[in-house]
Structure 1
Amino acid sequence: MSKITIVLHDLRGGGAEKMMVRLANQMVEDGDYVDMVLITGGGQNKAYLDSRVRLTELDCARTLSAFIPLRKALKDIKPDAILAALTHINVITSIACFSLGWIKRLSVSERNAFSLDKQVNSDPVMKLTYFIAPFVYRLIPRPVIAVSKGVANDLISTTIVRPKDLVTAPNPVITKETIDAAKQAPKHEWLLDKTEKVIVAVGRLAYQKGFDMLLDAMFEINKTLSCRLIIFGEGELRAELQQQIDTLGLTQKVSMPGYTENPIAEMKAADLYVLSSRFEGSPNAIVEAISVGTPVVAFDCPHGAREILKDGEIGALVENQNAKMLEAAIQEGLSQNKLSPTEPILTVEQFTSENSAARYRELILS
Structure 2
Amino acid sequence: MEKKIKILFILPSLKAGGAERVVSFIAQNLDATRFTPSLLIIGFEKDAAFSIEHIETHFLNKTRVLDGVTGIFSKLRSIKPQIVMTSIAHLTAVTTIQSLWFRKIKFVAREANIKKITIQYHNASLPFGAKTLNTISYKLLDAIICQSKDMADELVELRPKTANKIHIINNPITKVFSSEISNIQNNKPHYITVGRLHNEKGHCRILEALSLLDFDFKYTIIGSGPHEQRIKDKAEALHLSDSVTWIDFTNDIEKHLNNSSVFIQGSYAEGFPNALLESCAAGTPVIAYNCLGGTSEIVKQGVNGFLVDTEIELKEKLIELIKNPLNKQQIIASVKSKFSKEQIISQYEEVFNNLIQN
Q: TM-score range by the shorter chain?
A: 0.7 to 0.9
1:70 shift after superposition: 0.9
Give per-residue Cα distances to partners, 1:333-360, cap 9 Å, x unaligned. 3434242436614544221112211111
Distance change (3 Å), C-alpha of 1:58 and 1:354: same
CA contact (8 A) 2:202 2:267 kept: yes
1:53 shift after superposition: 1.5
CA contact (8 A) 1:209 1:276 kept: yes
Larger CA deviation: 225-234 vs 111-120? 111-120
Q: What residue number does 1:350 align with?
A: 338
Distance 2:36 2:76 in 1: 14
CA contact (8 A) 1:40 1:57 kept: yes
Secondary structure of 2:338 counterpart: helix
**Does residue 121 of structure 1 match 2:122?**
yes
Q: What residue number does 1:331 align with?
A: 319
Matched letter for residue 179 of structure 1: F
Q: What residue number does 1:59 align with?
A: 61
Matched letter for residue 344 of structure 1: I
Q: What residue number does 2:349 align with?
A: 361
Larger CA deviation: 326-335 vs 281-290? 326-335
**Does residue 75 of structure 1 match 2:77?**
yes
Give per-residue Cα distances to partners, 1:203-226, cap 9 Å, x unaligned. 1111221111111212222xx121
CA contact (8 A) 2:280 2:331 kept: no
Q: What residue number does 1:199 align with?
A: 191
Distance 1:193 1:297 in 2: 20
Q: What residue number does 1:301 align with?
A: 291
Q: After superposition, where does 1:275-294 map in structure 2 within 5 Å?
A: 275-294=265-284
Q: What residue number does 1:156 align with?
A: 156
Larger CA deviation: 289-298 vs 239-248? 239-248
Distance 1:278 1:86 in 2: 20
CA contact (8 A) 2:118 2:124 kept: no
Distance 2:312 2:283 in 1: 25
Residue in structure 2 matching 1:40, options 23, 38, 43? 43
1:101 shift after superposition: 2.3
Unpaired runs of 5+ in structure 1?
Answer: 186-190
Q: After superposition, where does 1:204-353 map in structure 2 within 5 Å?
A: 204-221=196-213, 224-310=214-300, 314-319=304-309, 322-341=310-329, 344-345=332-333, 347-353=335-341
Matched letter for residue 197 of structure 1: P
1:38 shift after superposition: 1.4
Distance 1:123 1:343 in 2: 36
CA contact (8 A) 2:150 2:293 kept: yes
Distance 2:129 2:300 in 1: 36
Distance 1:62 1:126 in 2: 17
Distance 1:20 1:300 in 2: 26
Matched letter for residue 112 of structure 2: R
Distance 2:306 2:330 in 1: 21
Distance 1:113 1:304 in 2: 10
1:192 shift after superposition: 8.2
| TM-score, with length taken from structure 1 | 0.86
Distance 1:83 1:262 in 2: 29
CA contact (8 A) 2:97 2:136 kept: no
Q: What residue number does 1:24 align with?
A: 27
Distance 1:44 1:338 in 2: 39
Distance change (3 Å), C-alpha of 1:232 and 1:290: same
1:290 shift after superposition: 1.4
Matched letter for residue 247 of structure 1: A
Q: After superposition, where does 1:87-166 map in structure 2 within 5 Å?
A: 87-102=89-104, 104-122=105-123, 129=130, 132-140=133-141, 142-166=142-166
Give per-residue Cα distances to partners, 1:194-253, cap 9 Å, x unaligned. 4311011111111221111111212222xx121111111111112222222222221221
Distance change (3 Å), C-alpha of 1:358 and 1:272: same
Matched letter for residue 106 of structure 1: F
Matched letter for residue 100 of structure 2: F
Larger CA deviation: 303-312 vs 147-156? 303-312
